[in-house]
């Protein structure tokens, strides 16, 4: 079994690899028309320190990319909801930027506020940690969670745990930290684990009619998705050099039949950062544009014409670099 429902004080007995489990109860991943009487619908918040895999998990649960992921910490700055209707149950997910525990600046304070706002009125909290690990940053996040909402411990990146037997004492120690409702060792990158997670979460959602169309995956605007996608490619392709304060602004978003025409500006802090984004002969910027465009075309199933500009926050003038990533190549 992927998840063990542990009563208080029950030590986890065995922790078979989720991949090896043979639970016959498969969760259908398509929304079947359910009669309103039997429908469930509720909010699930995904919390945890940066880089534990929250966005990866959210995207896998939603089945589409609605949150950007990166090896660089702090890439998620907005509260993003994704939704997924599985059988009679509609899950509305809330991604959070991760509690920022290291720096006390205004941006981080704002991030923490978003997180706290996100967890107060949910039905279930998925507290994500890396399997076998728990440090001060994890503890800080855990200490901020409300007491009246069930919290599930998601021990993510289980695939990276080589000696799985070592996980049992760790799970026991975790039991003492919080009255977790469930313990779920899993990998956000394993489809089977994601399916199981739906089944485990389901019972925590109240019986009530769906709030969204069962085919909807996000309530975020297409404009927002476009800027997030460019931001993801920006951070992925510039590695650790570029400060996370760089932002993406959508200047134009127009639809012409089945074509979407988008112009966006990457705003960087310093002149020196511009070069990192543009790259040699504009190669980097071109790649950011192409990859973002391809993902958006996949997401929306239409042609996208994406034009990217780079500007330095102060004094943006006529030397602004520009790249076009055409919908037709
Ligand atoms: P967030 O900051 O918590 O949202 O973390 P992200 O979702 O951005 O993921 C951080 C990094 O961990 C990325 O490089 C992911 O690919 C990686 N990651 C996420 N889940 C897993 C997992 O289950 N196994 C492994 N090996 N890597 C993972
Ligand atoms: Mg994230």
Q: Where does CATH 3.40.50.300 sit in the chain?
A: 18-202
Nearest residue (by CA) to ligand 1, atom 6, is 53
Nearest ligand to the CA atom of 154 = 1
**Smallest Cα–Cα separation from 80: which of 231, 265, 263?**
231
In angstroms, what CA-CA distances link 202 with 3, 32, 261?
13, 15, 39
CA torsion sign for 257, 259, 263, 264 is positive
Contacts 24+ apart (CB under 8 A), 292-296: 292/226, 292/229, 292/230, 292/232, 292/233, 292/325, 293/325, 293/327, 295/65, 295/229, 295/233, 296/225, 296/226, 296/229, 296/260, 296/262
- Quickly name the fold that domain 18-202 has: Rossmann fold (3.40.50)
The widest CA-to-CA distance across the chain, in whole angstroms, is 67
Each residue's pLDDT expressed in tens, for the chain with a length of 329 residues? 333 333 333 333 334 344 434 343 444 455 455 677 789 999 898 888 889 998 899 889 988 766 666 555 555 544 546 889 999 999 988 756 544 445 455 555 555 555 566 666 789 999 999 999 999 989 988 988 888 899 999 999 999 999 888 899 999 999 999 999 999 999 999 999 999 999 999 999 999 888 877 877 776 678 888 988 998 899 888 876 776 677 888 888 888 888 999 999 998 888 888 888 999 999 999 999 999 999 999 888 889 999 999 988 764 333 445 555 554 33
Ligand in closest contact with the CA of 80: 2
DSSP code of residue 28: P
CATH 3.30.300.20 residue ranges of the chain are 222-325
Please name the fold of domain 222-325: GMP Synthetase; Chain A, domain 3 (3.30.300)
Contact 276, 239 (CB under 8 A): no
Backbone angles phi, psi at 166, to 5 degrees: -65, -15
Ligand 1 atom closest to residue 69's alpha carbon, by position in its atom list: 8
Q: How far is the CA of 156 from the centre of ligand 2 (A)?
A: 14
């Amino acid at each position: 079994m992927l998840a063990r429902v542990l009563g208080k004080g029950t030590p986890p007995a065995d922790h078979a690899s989720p991949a090896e489990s043979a639970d016959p109860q498969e969760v259908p991943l398509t929304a079947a028309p359910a009669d309103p009487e039997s429908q469930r619908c509720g909010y699930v918040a995904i919390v945890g320190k940066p880089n534990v895999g929250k966005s990866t998990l959210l995207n896998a649960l939603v089945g589409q990319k609605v949150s950007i992921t990166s090896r660089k910490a702090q890439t998620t700055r907005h509260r993003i909801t994704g939704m997924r209707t599985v059988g009679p149950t509609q899950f509305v997910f809330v991604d959070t930027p991760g509690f920022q525990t290291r720096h006390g600046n205004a941006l981080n304070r704002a991030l923490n506020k978003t997180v706290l706002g996100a967890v107060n009125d949910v039905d279930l909290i998925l507290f994500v940690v890396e399997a076998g690990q728990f440090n001060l940053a994890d503890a800080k996040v855990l200490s901020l969670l409300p007491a009246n909402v069930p919290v599930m411990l998601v021990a993510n990146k289980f695939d990276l745990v080589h000696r799985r037997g070592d996980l049992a004492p760790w799970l026991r120690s975790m039991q003492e930290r919080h009255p977790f409702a469930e313990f779920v060792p899993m990998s956000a990158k394993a489809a089977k684990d994601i399916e199981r997670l739906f089944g485990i979460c389901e019972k925590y959602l109240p019986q009530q009619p769906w709030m969204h169309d069962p085919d909807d995956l996000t309530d975020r605007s297409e404009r927002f998705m476009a800027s997030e996608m460019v931001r993801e490619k920006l951070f992925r392709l510039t590695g650790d050099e570029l400060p996370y304060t760089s932002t993406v602004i959508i200047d134009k978003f127009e639809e012409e039949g089945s074509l979407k025409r988008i112009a966006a500006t990457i705003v960087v802090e310093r002149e020196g950062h511009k070069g990192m984004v543009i790259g040699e002969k504009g190669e980097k910027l071109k790649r950011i544009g192409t990859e973002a465009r391809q993902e958006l075309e996949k997401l929306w199933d239409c042609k996208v014409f994406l034009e990217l500009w780079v500007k330095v926050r102060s004094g943006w003038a006529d030397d602004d670099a520009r790249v076009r990533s055409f919908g037709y190549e």
